Amino acid sequence: MAPGKKGILERLNAGEVVIGDGGFVFALEKRGYVKAGPWTPEAAAEYPEAVRQLHREFLRAGANVMQTFTFYASDDKLENRGNKLSFTGAQINEAACDLARQVANEGDALVAGGVCQTPSYLSCKSEADVKAIFKKQLDVFVKKNVDFLIAEYFEHVEEAVWAVEVLKETGKPVAACLCIGPEGDMHGVSPGECAVRLVKAGAQIVGVNCHFDPMTCVKAVKLMKEGVEKAGLKAHYMVQPLAYHTPDCNCQGFIDLPEFPFGLEPRILTRWDMHKYAREAYNVGIRFIGGCCGFEPYHIRAVAEELAAERGIMPAGSEKHGMWGAGLEMHTKPWVRARARRDYWENLKPASGRPLCPSLATPDSWGVTKGHADLMQQKEATSKDQLKQLFDRSKSH
């Protein structure tokens, strides 16, 4: 950490608001640097300029955590289902750490090294096997001296606890996020109980990320907070949700939606929705507020603008953005100038422009999770016969 910078716990202990960054995997897929399906982060080594630029855009938008682009960078995921890469997990993780640090040093930002759920856990490998995967990633984070660690995107609290137990061995601050909603993890463990287990395992910051929209995620973290307090424990809280509306999702979240992943655009939250999200998160006591899949820099800027008074600073990117549409005062058309006011945007109900489309979808709801034969992973590419079975099965749902 650069001299003079406060650490993550120092900031949170002082009551400061920490703004996370956004969803690198989805953002870089749209830009042509990540392949949908494996969702692996080899772009950190393959196209470093693209990753660096996205970090800079989030920094300019107000983020003061640069999360290493190491999502799904465990060796078992990099080699899963025929995925063949010219970079090792270590090379990707090292490149991601260097990029995050370079941009963090351009502002008052910290670097967080991240690990996430593994195919090995879904395939019922042992605790020792799964922990060894986390340890291999952790060695790089220690070598590169990241400022703190995040275990994120875990559908099962059991695996998240294993990750926390490995990460805490470094002595660095540890945050842990599950990709769950108010119903709890995929084995039915409630958000409150999940949080208690994570705190007891050694996480100082707990929360949720991905899978659900902002308000759903805030509700889940509120339940976590209530569980931790009821247990007589203490923690800080974080939330990094989707930028998609998901009122029709079940406990599996947005990956069960028929639009996932290539038809989600009609569900994207506006920047004004993000103002409401930031305020709600702050009001329930969450102080680490960021985003996950679907979040672009302008979403994070909206979060930072909403909480500018609490943070005592406006993001650099607000130089090119009038608060609540104020920049429209300079528009050539008078009816557009008439929209340069907060009440217009705060009360707008955006149309989709799709008159034949439903407002809600029916999730797939296959109902499988860790331990089910359908989730056993393999190094070999998915065969045509395996695909045919899936296609036939999908028709019956």
CATH of the domain at 229: 3.20.20.330
194 is in an annotated binding site: no
Would you state the pLDDT for residue 396? 66
Residue 347, classified by CB atoms within 10 Å of its CB into exposed (0-12), middle (13-18) or buried (19+), is exposed
Q: Does 243 lie in the same domain as 115?
A: yes
Residues 307 and 327 in one domain: no
Cα separation values, 74 from 38, 115, 134, 370, 388, Å: 12, 8, 8, 18, 29
* Residues 235, 345 share a domain: no
For the segment 238-249, the average pLDDT, to the nearest whole number, is 98
Residues 302, 343 within the same domain = no
- What pLDDT was estimated at residue 95? 97
Domain interval for residue 341: 322-349
Q: Is 116 annotated as a binding residue?
A: no
37-51, 306-320, 342-356, 362-376: range with lowest mean pLDDT: 362-376
Residue 360 in domain: no
Place of tokens 């001299």: 3
Confidence of residue 376 (pLDDT cuts 50, 70, 90): low
> What average pLDDT does the segment 371-392 reach?
72
The answer to the question of whether 97 is labelled as a binding residue is: no
Q: How many CB atoms lie within 10 A of CB 165?
A: 17
Indicate whether 172 belongs to any domain: yes
Q: Number of structural domains, the chain?
A: 2
- If asked whether residues 141 and 154 sit together in one domain, one would say yes
Q: Are 192 and 226 in contact (CB under 8 A)?
A: yes
For the segment 112-121, the average pLDDT, to the nearest whole number, is 93
Tens of pLDDT, residue by residue over 123-171, are 889 999 999 999 999 999 999 999 999 999 999 999 999 999 999 999 9
Please check whether residue 359 lies inside any domain of the structure.
no
pLDDT at 87: 85
Q: Is residue 1 one of the residues assigned to a domain? A: no
- Residue 371: the pLDDT is 64
172 and 299 in a single domain? The answer is yes
**Any domain includes 234:** yes
Identify the weakest region by mean pLDDT among 83-92, 183-192, 268-277, 371-380.
371-380
Same domain for 254 and 329, yes or no, is: no
Question: Has residue 80 got a pLDDT over 60?
Answer: no
